[in-house]
Structure 1
């Protein structure tokens, strides 16, 4: 298998961590949709990463689809529970984490536009989404060790990638001081080899 993506995308990082946790071998091809010579649209018409190229040449895109497929490939260390209620709640965590990433990425891209073209109203709307998402994540996590309770799942990976993206692109957001349980979870996650090996960088 081959994974196409960048070292900065939290969605690519999520897929890379799942691949590592599932002990699935793959080749990692660096390519970003913003590169002038990008081949990403050749595999994903939406021009987004990650893209997973399976052994038969079929391409999978959207990180949620990719990680669900990967979890089904190898029964070892299941990251998405089979129980319907728990499964839905883990996927809900993933949706929340990805939503935080969506909003944060929107702010990052808006800041790259020239000053006169930037919309402060748009930036504020996205920043509020990030703040509300973090508050909900902290509230839902409570005093549990992991998002799903005592078991490490895709929920923790997705949230860890979202928090890692904020730490990388928006170090000025003080969620570590204001939401201590998220900070503690993030510290635990960052000690795991798959997280250490995928720390985002330009």
Structure 2
């Protein structure tokens, strides 16, 4: 399998963490690509020109990290990272959606504050996205017991999202009022899958 890759994309990192957790990292070749430049080989596989894009062994292309992660979860024989049915499945998918929403908001904040010229920045928009992140982190802080002793796509997605907040500083020091979530993340950040996929500073 071939993974179109970016070292700083949190969505790519989620896929890479998943690969390490399910023991398939050695089966995937990661090729760094700049989606912003719209290279022909990427747009031919993914018209959105975005990473991650996965090219499966049979040539099928898959994109969007939730889709890729679900595909990968069917390529190994271990404990599923997405439960097959029941409330546990919906819990994992709900957590992934919340974590991806944090990432979406953080990326938009980064684009607004770093990529857009200062005189054109929209502070109302930045504050809106920061409040969305803050509410979501508060939810996880209050539900921390549901995260304990679990390794699945829900908890991995959240760990990646928190790592991205640290990388980009989108909401400042998120740990100050969330001691339980901070402690949980400190443990998750030491997992081999997280250490192996740390983005450059």
| TM-score, with length taken from structure 2 | 0.92
Partner of 2:12: 12
Aligned pair count reads 198
Cα distance, 1:172 vs structure 2: 6.2
Alignment of 1:152-191 (within 5 A): 152-170=151-169, 173-191=172-190
Deviation track 1:70-108 (CA, whole Å, cap 9, x = no partner) reads: 111112132111232110110000000000000010000
Cα distance, 1:181 vs structure 2: 1.4
RMSD in angstroms over aligned alpha carbons?
A: 1.7
Cα distance, 1:184 vs structure 2: 1.2
- 2:90 aligns with one of 83, 88, 91: 88
Unmatched runs of 5 consecutive residues or more in structure 1? none
Native 8 Å contact 1:31 1:39 kept in 2: no
Partner of 1:136: 139
Q: Which deviates more, 174-183 or 93-102?
A: 174-183
Native 8 Å contact 1:4 1:28 kept in 2: yes
Q: Which deviates more, 108-117 or 36-45?
A: 36-45
Q: Which deviates more, 173-182 or 98-107?
A: 173-182
Deviation track 1:108-147 (CA, whole Å, cap 9, x = no partner) reads: 0011111121111111111111111111121222xx2x62
Indicate yes or no: 2:52 matched with 1:50.
Answer: yes
Native 8 Å contact 1:14 1:63 kept in 2: yes
Unmatched runs of 5 consecutive residues or more in structure 2? none
Change in Cα spacing, 1:139 to 1:39, as seen in structure 2 (3 Å) is farther
Give runs of ≥4 in structure 1 deviating > 6 Å: none
Deviation track 1:138-195 (CA, whole Å, cap 9, x = no partner) reads: 1222xx2x62x53311111100000000000007621222111111121111111110
Deviation track 1:11-46 (CA, whole Å, cap 9, x = no partner) reads: 100000111111111100111212364743222112
- Provide the secondary structure at the position in 1 that maps to 2:149: coil
